[in-house]
Amino acid sequence: MRIFAIADLHLSHDGSKPMDIYGSQWIRHRERTEAAWRRLIETEDLVLLVGDLSWALKLEEAIPDLQWIADLPGQKVLIKGNHDLWWSSLSKLRKLDERLFFLQNDYYKAGEYAICGCRGWICPGDANFTEHDQKIYQRELGRLRLSLEAARSVGETKLICGIHFPPFNDRMEDTGFTELFREFSVQTVVYGHLHGPDAHQKAVQGWRDGVEYRLVACDYLNCTPLLLSGRCVEERVQL
């Protein structure tokens, strides 16, 4: 099993939310993503989808987009993003398709790795951080801890985490999320949410305090899922 990751597919099956209005990097992004996915990913592989998957507002409206994801090769682990307003009760979501695992407060076993994660939120120190954000931030910290503790409780030591929001504030300072990654000795963290060259340039990438961070937003990856497991150590160190 190989593990890939990508975020921010921003699907809209009926075309009501075209992404190319945000720049040429989004032109035919769905078709380009599918072509890259089918070229790279095999049935036994796993793809971690790190939020903002569909523009739908209700679950029934998201079904065509989720079905499109399910029909692509590999097993998929899905994490909620801030635009995934269709994300309903976990029991309903997990009945949709056995090829889709909706991760929330727990983990997914993927070969020698455990996949953990949460949506995340903007962090203290951000210019626009408010008292309301503090409540959501604390809730997301709790969800991440539950996920990591679930994996640790059964002896999992090789951890990959997905979090939709960057786990840093806009000054790239450490946060409660990064503290949890260090506490649980997470190997790799992937995140999305950041779009456009300016945001991509400021993203934290590579190794920091023993944790590898990778931005996997669809436009940053040129619509191509990023291979996480199976790369040689030398390649990872030189990121």
- Domain containing residue 111: CATH number: 3.60.21.10
Q: What is the pLDDT of residues 83-117, one digit of tens each?
A: 999 999 999 999 999 999 999 999 999 999 999 99
Average pLDDT value for the chain: 92
pLDDT computed for residue 238 by the predictor: 38
pLDDT computed for residue 160 by the predictor: 98
Whole-model pTM: value is: 0.92
In the chain, the DSSP E strands lie at 3-6, 46-50, 75-79, 100-102, 108-110, 113-118, 159-163, 188-191, 206-208, 211-215, 226-227
- Please state the domain count of the chain: 1
192 closest CA partner among 178, 210, 204: 204
- The parent domain of residue 18 ranges over 3-237
pLDDT computed for residue 137 by the predictor: 98
Q: What is the pLDDT of residues 111-160, one digit of tens each?
A: 999 999 999 999 999 988 999 999 999 999 999 999 999 999 999 999 99
**DSSP string spanning 150-167?**
HHHHTT---EEEEESS-S
Cα distances (angstroms) measured from residue 173 to each of 82, 157, 178: 22, 26, 9
Q: What is the pLDDT of residues 34-71, one digit of tens each?
A: 999 999 999 999 999 999 999 999 999 999 999 999 99
Q: Does pLDDT of 237 surpass 50?
A: no
Cα distances (angstroms) measured from residue 8 to each of 18, 121, 129, 217: 13, 15, 22, 6
pLDDT computed for residue 233 by the predictor: 35
Residue 78 exposure: Cα atoms within 13 Å on the Cβ side: 26
∠ CA 159-84-168, rounded to 5°: 50
pLDDT computed for residue 230 by the predictor: 57
